Amino acid sequence: MLKNRLIPVLLLQNGLLVRSELFKFHQIIGNPIHEVERFNEWTVDELIYIDISTDDKYDLRRGDHKIRDLGDPLQILEAVSETCFMPLTWGGKIRTVDDMRARISRGADKITLNTAAVKKPELITQGAKVFGSQAIVVSIDAFRHADGRLEVFITNGKEATGKTPSDLARESEARGAGEILLQSINRDGTGEGYDLDLIAEVAHATTIPVIACSGVGLYEQYAEGIKAGAAAVAAANIWHFKELSDRGGKRALAKAGVNVRI
């Protein structure tokens, strides 16, 4: 029987790993390659890497990170794929089929589209034709307004689109996306748990797998995401600030009756 997946999300900003809060505040937490080596040792199910840099400056030459000089995110991807013996999804700044090819040829198995999925939705179809639907993940950043209404934001959570997450998920599936990565801007970095209503709504709107993300502060919250309808559960910050976070997350999922790979 197919297992539910538990996935760490790494955020890359200008060559360094960061943690994020509410899509606004970013704090440097480490080296983009060493972290992957650690996850590889832990044999995590899968890895999602998103480049959220807002300008094109990448610099790893810091005194406290003694590793080789890596000039751009594609070089980081290449170095990452050398030690990454698990499925790898890469996102950020992908605007053309050539951008996708550049990432897939360097070791990514899937690419994820966020801003382009709204501004240039035909790219989903073009990518699915060339690389297969399984390689195209649409990443949806949802914001819940004070009145409870959900809206998709793009450009690192800065630009409103007027679309609901369910509509974008349905449209993405119809265009050929293979998976949805669902993030909540309100829950990002809060540790308050997933927005379960958001997950349930989007999971009902599509037949492709939904990867839930944003808000996990306790391992017990993972199982809530699966029960709300997600096929896989992801998180970012909890992976960096707790020891043995894969084992802990898996145990909590298994205890809640979820079929996971241990």
Partner 1 sequence: MIAIINYGMGNLRSVKNALEAVGGEAFVAENPQELERGDKIILPGVGAFGDGMTNLRSAGWVEKLNEEVGGKGKVFFGICLGMQLLASIGTEHGDTEGLSFVKGKSIRMETNGDQSLRIPHIGWNDVEITPESRLFAGMKNPQAFYFVHSYVLDADDKQLVTSVCNHGMNFAASVERENIFGVQFHPEKSHKAGLAVLRNFVNLPN
Q: Give the binding site for partner 1 (CB under 8 A).
A: 1-3, 5, 40, 43, 45-46, 81-82, 84-87, 104-109, 131-135, 178-179, 207-209, 231-232, 261
* Cβ-based nearer residue to partner 1, 107 or 193: 107
Name the minimum Å distance from CB 260 to partner 1.
Answer: 9
Kindly tell me which of 46 and 224 has the beta carbon lying closer to partner 1.
46
- Residue 208 CB, nearest distance to partner 1 (Å)? 7
Q: Closer to partner 1 at the Cβ: 18 or 135?
A: 135
> What span, in angstroms and rounded, lies between the C-alpha atoms of 32 and 185?
23
The one-letter amino acid code at 186 reads N
Q: Which is nearer to partner 1, 157 or 178 (CB)?
A: 178
Tell me the helices (H) and strands (E) count for the chain, helix number first.
Answer: 10, 12
Whether 190 contacts 156, CB under 8 Å: no
Rank residues 224 and 246 by Cβ distance to partner 1 and give the closer one: 246
Measured distance CA(15)–CA(57) in Å, rounded = 8
Taking the C-alpha atoms of 85, 91, 95 and 97 in order, what is their torsion angle to the nearest 10 degrees? 20
Shortest reach from residue 86's CB to partner 1, in Å: 6
User: How near is the Cβ of 160 to partner 1 at its closest, in Å?
Assistant: 32
Query: Whole-number minimum distance, CB 124 to partner 1, in Å?
Result: 16
Instruction: Return the amino acid letter for 18.
Output: V
Q: How many CA atoms lie within 13 A of 87 on its CB side?
A: 13
118-149 b/e (C-beta count within 10 Å ≥ 16 → b): beebebbbbbbeebebebbbbbbbbbbeeeee
